Amino acid sequence: MLPLDGVKILDMTQFLAGPYCTMVLADMGAEVTKIERFPAGDDSRRLAPFVNGESYCAAMPNRNKKSLAVDLKHPKGREVFFRLAQRADVVIENFRPGTTKKLGVDYEAVRAVNPNVIYCSISGFGQTGPLAHQGGFDIIAQGFTGLMRMTGEPGGRPAKVGIAIADLAAGNAAAQGILAAYVHRLRTGEGQYLETSLVDAVLAWTVWESGAYFGGGELPEATGTRHRRSTPYQAYRTQDGYVTVGAGNQRLWERFCRQVVERPEWIEDPRFVDLGLRMKNIDELEREIEAITVTRPTAHWVAKLDEAGVPGGPVYRYDEVLAHPQVRAREMVVELEHPVMGRMRTLGLPVKYSGTPLAIRTPGPWLGQHTTEKLREAGYAEEEIRTLYDEGVVYDKYPDRPRE
């Protein structure tokens, strides 16, 4: 039995923030029904690369889910939605604020048929405030929150974090909120409305930067790979690439000097004798260290760091890390069969459970793959289902393919 077995979620989200949230919950065992418009479906279905006409990227955050393609603008489509919503534990959406009300599927409408529902909204800026009406993609949130000013090389142009970190932060915050609200409902029987935004979620992750600003008025600027409060704690050039060093305290610093770069005199050097002085003279320290690290390949320094007990490692390309024995041993790359794309790979599960081990049970569904199944669950007769298809209320992209 999975941790969230029996929990039913209606998922009206698209792109990444919402789908990432519901992927996390689906991985835990929740039954997630992805509500999609048609014929386009989730906008991420337009993202390349495509295999046999299906987006590989869209399949990634939609594993372990089922897809129901329905026209929520059609009265019969809303009827389908509310039949499912009556039995749902959670409803989640990430439309621009006000959209669900226009569609007639907002929290108040769902609560009218399911008083104990947990309803979650994700948006760019939140449901309140002067910018609530604005749309907000990941890059907008990264710029608005100052994150792009903190990322990149000193003096360079603002840089986007390499992944969609605002989307993922918001999805993570929403998943945490839903789990907490579900625990509350188990205790009290009460549902509730909760909402988060990309901006709120990113700001919540700037905990150290906020401390520096609130405590000392310090504005966080781009530092490349450097740590804001510790050194040596960054990536250094080597003969064939880069090596990361995490000598984050005095004990590790002394080991680094004696055993890794073999410069024991640095321990008493007035420029580097304590952390405050090392931070003050960080440019000089970087030059001194790199003058040594560039003389040998990355593997040499990784071995020396490991031998000395100083945290460090290589700076890999993405393909290199996915092929690494450590990643494979942790089952972070998983293969499964997709009914349209065939054999495919996806990322594994980051949390390992001893008592309720999770599993990637099904690949991301095609658009409308489970429409008929969900209509039957909602109590529709076969003749009614045929009528809904004939009237263009619901959709299945591949009606003649096997379901799984």
Write out pLDDT tens, residues 38-83: 999 999 999 999 999 999 999 999 999 999 999 999 999 999 999 9
Please provide residue 30's backbone torsions phi and psi, each rounded to the nearest 5 degrees: -65, 145
* Mean pLDDT to the nearest integer, 240-252: 97
Find residue 237's DSSP bridge partners: 242
- State the Cα–Cα distance between residues 59 and 362, nearest whole angstrom: 10
The more confidently predicted of residues 136 and 113 is 113
Residue 353 has pLDDT above 80, yes or no: yes
- State the Cα–Cα distance between residues 281 and 188, nearest whole angstrom: 57
- Name the packing angle between helices 165-188 and 17-27 (round to 10°): 50
* Backbone region of residue 379 per phi and psi (left: phi > 0; alpha: psi in -120 to 50; beta: other values): left
Whether the bond into 39 is cis, omega within 30 of 0 = yes
Q: What is the pLDDT of residues 152-178, one digit of tens each?
A: 999 999 999 999 999 999 999 999 999
CB 298 within 8 A of CB 238: yes
Residues 6+ apart with CB under 8 A from 67: 33, 34, 36, 41, 365, 366, 367, 368, 369, 370, 371
Mean pLDDT of all residues belonging to the chain:
97
Q: What is the pLDDT of residues 295-319, one digit of tens each?
A: 999 999 999 999 999 999 999 999 9
Residue 27 has pLDDT above 70, yes or no: yes
Residue 11 has pLDDT above 80, yes or no: yes
Q: Residue 404: its pLDDT value, please? A: 63
* Mean pLDDT to the nearest integer, 17-21: 98
Residue 403 has pLDDT above 80, yes or no: no
Q: What is the set of active-site residues?
A: 167
Residue 382 has pLDDT above 90, yes or no: yes
Q: What is the pLDDT of residues 187-197, one digit of tens each?
A: 999 999 999 99
* Mean pLDDT to the nearest integer, 389-399: 97
Q: What is the pLDDT of residues 257-291, one digit of tens each?
A: 999 999 999 999 999 999 999 999 999 999 999 99
Q: Residue 402: its pLDDT value, please? A: 79
Whole-model pTM above 0.75?
yes
Residue 349 has pLDDT above 80, yes or no: yes
- Count CB neighbours of 55 within 10 A: 20
Q: Residue 38: its pLDDT value, please? A: 95
Residue 117 has pLDDT above 70, yes or no: yes
